[in-house]
Amino acid sequence: MRMGFRWFGEGNDTVSLAQIRQIPGVETIVWSLHDVPAGEEWPMDKIVALRDEVAAGFNIDVVESVNVHEDIKLGLPSRDRYIENYKRTIEKLGEIGVKVICYNFMPIFDWLRTDLHKELEDGSTALFYEKARIDNIDPFDLVAKINENSALTMPGWEPERLAHLTSLFEAYKGVTEEKLWDNLKHFLDEIVPVAARSGIRMAIHPDDPPWSIFGLPRIMTGQANFRRFLKLHDHPSNGITLCSGSLGANPDNDLIAMIHEFKDRIPFAHIRNVRRYDNGDFIESSHRTQDGSVDIAGIVQAYHDIGFTGYARPDHGRHLWGEVCRPGYGLYDRALGIMYLWGVWDAAARSANKEGSR
Ligand code: DNO
Ligand code: MN
């Protein structure tokens, strides 16, 4: 397991590279060009500048995300141009040595929460999803609320996309789940060969939460659908970002079973916990198994059991000790999370060695 840490770039993140260097065992900066709109080809000078900034202390092997333009997901004729741009971006990232590109195929929204600073019993705050509010809210009200509460733009909530919400919702009216599958297959057939030639493994992120919201189709939701996804374009460069927190919001998802079934197709793991409530709400709790509903210790053990050599990151964390940061992306809880993941991993390694020597 190679440990990574997501970093949004100088001036765009409250955490510094110098701070990340002091977290034990972090080798990889998980990065992106956050100022390039979805659909545009990434400029080489910006890619190289980022690489040079990070390269002194870390590798730049994982990019999260190269966002997919909405016209690709909608299957519009204009997708061809955006797919070409996507391919050029993959090639450029391959040239500088990137190994994994994380992306998602969620219509309109990326991850969705109703409260970015919900207080937990211990006084820390975390991202929270209140099911009844999503079921009953007009999406336009929700967007306004989130923009009021957050000083920073969240990934996937780029202003240029949110500004066109009405027309986007109109456009998705005819897009069924099956149509979305077709559009995803078309995209994969175009880009996976380019990724393979560039030495890159594509890694789709699950939908978060893993169910339909506001009547929009969502398909990357669980084990059966991931099985179908991997067969859509059956190649090692077509892989998964297995996110335990996104998938773990649905109690039917058995993460450990997925790790075993998809073991050769997981170039990137997001490892975080969520606490689920009976009414369908969930909150992003600390990484420790006992603190949430997802067996993080069991998941790390499963990665160890399959001999996982891919990249991992702690994904989101709570906001601790008064830290002011990008929602979910503070320093402290993600650093604590990493130490928990290493603790379980190292214990698994020691016990495997002991068994081996018997
Ligand atoms: C949620 C996060 C996501 C992720 C993007 C990838 O679990 O990891 O915001 O970064 O969906 O495209
Ligand atoms: Mn994730």
Cα 356 to ligand 2 centroid, rounded to whole Å: 34
Ligand 2 mean position to 282 CA, how many Å? 15
Residue nearest to atom 7 of ligand 1 (CA): 246
pLDDT digit string, tens, across residues 14-26:
999 999 999 999 9
SS (H, E, C) the chain: CEEEEECCCCCCCCCCHHHHHCCCCEEEEEECCCCCCCCCCCCHHHHHHHHHHHCCCCEEEEEECCCCCHHHHHCCCCHHHHHHHHHHHHHHHHHCCCCEEEEECCCCCCCCCCEEEEECCCCCEEEEECHHHHHHCCHHHHHHHHHHHCCCCCCCCCHHHHCCHHHHHHHHHHCCHHHHHHHHHHHHHHHHHHHHHCCCEEEEECCCCCCCCCCCCCCCCCHHHHHHHHHHCCCCCEEEEEEHHHHHCCCCCCHHHHHHHCHHHCCEEECCCCEECCCCCEECCCCCHHHCCCCHHHHHHHHHHCCCCCEEECCCCCECCCCCCCCCCCCHHHHHHHHHHHHHHHHHHHHHHHHHHC
Q: What's the confidence (pLDDT) of residue 152?
A: 44
Ligand lying closest to the C-alpha of residue 329: 1
Ligand 1 geometric centre to CA of 115 (Å): 17
- Enumerate the domain spans of the chain: 2-357
Which ligand has its closest atom nearest to the C-alpha of 284? 1
* ipTM of the complex in this document: 0.95
Ligand 1 atom showing the smallest separation from residue 65 Cα: 12
State the closest ligand 1 atom to the C-alpha of 245, by its place in the atom list counted from 1. Answer: 7
Residue whose CB lies within 8 A of the most ligand 1 atoms, among 5, 8, 111, 315, for a mutation test: 111
What protein residues have CB closer than 5 angstroms to ion ligand 2? 243, 270, 315
Pick the atom of ligand 1 nearest to 111's CA: 9
Q: Could you tell me if the CB of 4 is within 6 A of ligand 1?
A: no
pLDDT for res 88: 98
Does the pTM exceed 0.90? yes
Q: Which residues of the chain have pLDDT under 50?
A: 151-153
Work out which ligand 1 atom sits closest to the CA atom of 272: 7
CATH 3.20.20.150 assigned to 2-357: yes
Ligand 1 atom nearest to CA at 241 = 6
Q: What is the pLDDT of residues 255-299, one digit of tens each?
A: 999 999 999 999 999 999 999 999 999 999 999 999 999 999 999
